Structure 1
Amino acid sequence: MEYNKSLSSCCIRTGLQSCAGFPSVATLPPSLAVCRIGSLPITTLPPSLAVVCCVVVMALLAGCSNDDFSDLTRYLSEVKAKPKEPIKPLPEIKVIEPFMFKPDGLRDPFKPLEQPEQAQGIDVSAGSGIKPDTSRRKEELEAFPLDGLRMVGTIDMKSSLWGLVKASDGTIYRVKVGNYVGKNYGKVIRIVSDKIELMEIVPDKPGTWREQPASIVLTE
């Protein structure tokens, strides 16, 4: 018995036919069927058993080709039978009225601003000469606006009358003539039993200042 060692497929031979496509295979006895991979014999079967094996394999392959779509068909039928949900209407689109810009009577934003009086030849420094002393050190009561201060009494010290002023933070301060109070450079000019008189310096025209009297009245 000879075998073709170059054969790399499985060959089945019966007494009726030889391996198709491999004419160089050695002749085997008709009573044997040899399955070979390369030069290694796998098994030797009688012809009747080989035929049975072929029939079984063909039956299995035929079973794989039997497509059963009954489940899919039933599912599609159920989906189609469900009631369809109504489609929500589109949101209402609000109509926005167009805006028309009317520049009549308004300043042209592309034109430069008017020049200050000083640039037009007017000497704004000329005037009464009144101006605050910004070089001096600020006093404690200048941190509070005047309407946040209240006079709560007076005290006589060394033949001088001092005023007692309560700030918005609850602290009581002593002031005398010459002290500064409030945010407008208010200078204490007189203290009496029921009020403290001040002279403030406030802005007037551009670049000028003016004096303005003010007072802190005693509260009950």
Structure 2
Amino acid sequence: MMKMIFRSSVLLLAVTSLSACGDSEETEIRSWMEAERKEIKVIVPKLSEPKVYVPFSYDAKGSTEPFDPAKLLVVLARLKAQSGNGVDAPDPNRRQDALESFPLDILKMVGTIEKNKVVYALVQADKTVYQVKAGTYIGQNTGKITKISENEIEIKEKVLDAAGDWTERDAKLELQESKK
């Protein structure tokens, strides 16, 4: 029993000494925080007055809407009338040449030959080689060969532009060097 009293007194002494330490540190921290609070001055800037909202009234109720498809058709018709580029639509009844069924990007110029003072270009499509001369149609955009030189074929194609008008553009087929 004596041992038990001794142990409880030692335990009581330890708890008391620890609680005294805790209070002094807490008191010290609280006093430091109070001193700091007194020294700091809080500055709150004044808020500016909010801007006044002025509603916008849309008064164009009777006029044409800006995204109306009819308005776009009127503008396109005016542009078509002003363009007057003089390029006629391709003749749908014209007999098609053999190379008009191939797009230009798969056709290859592989050489030239001359017969009776007329220069012919040799054009390969798939595995077949065709002889073409100036005036022959080539490619899927109604391309007409305008000039044949030793290194290239010059072509004028007829294509539709964004306004729906036919226009001409230049294209070329350059001589493809053989890989040996």
TM (normalized to structure 2)? Answer: 0.54
Q: Which runs of 5+ in 2 are unaligned?
A: 1-66
**1:57 matched to which residue of 2?**
none
Aligned counterparts of 2:98 and 2:68: Cα–Cα separation in 1: 40
Structure 1 residues 160-199: aligned runs within 5 Å: 160-167=118-125, 169-199=126-156
Structure 1 residues 56-71: aligned runs within 5 Å: none
Q: Percent identity?
A: 39
**2:113 matched to which residue of 1?**
155
Deviation at 1:210, TM superposition (A): 1.7
User: What is the number of equivalent residue pairs in this alignment?
Assistant: 108
Deviation at 1:185, TM superposition (A): 1.2
Letter of the aligned partner of 1:124 in structure 2?
Answer: K
Match 1:141 to one of 99, 115, 119:
99
Aligned counterparts of 1:188 and 1:170: Cα–Cα separation in 2: 21
Match 1:130 to one of 67, 70, 87:
87
**2:160 matched to which residue of 1?**
203
| 8 A contact 1:117–1:124 mirrored in 2 | no
**2:70 matched to which residue of 1?**
115
| 8 A contact 2:87–2:167 mirrored in 1 | yes
Deviation at 1:137, TM superposition (A): 1.6
Greater helix fraction, Structure 1 or Structure 2: 2
| 1:212/1:116 CA distance change after superposition, 3 Å | farther
Greater Rg, structure 1 or structure 2? 1
TM (normalized to structure 1)? Answer: 0.45
Deviation at 1:205, TM superposition (A): 2.9
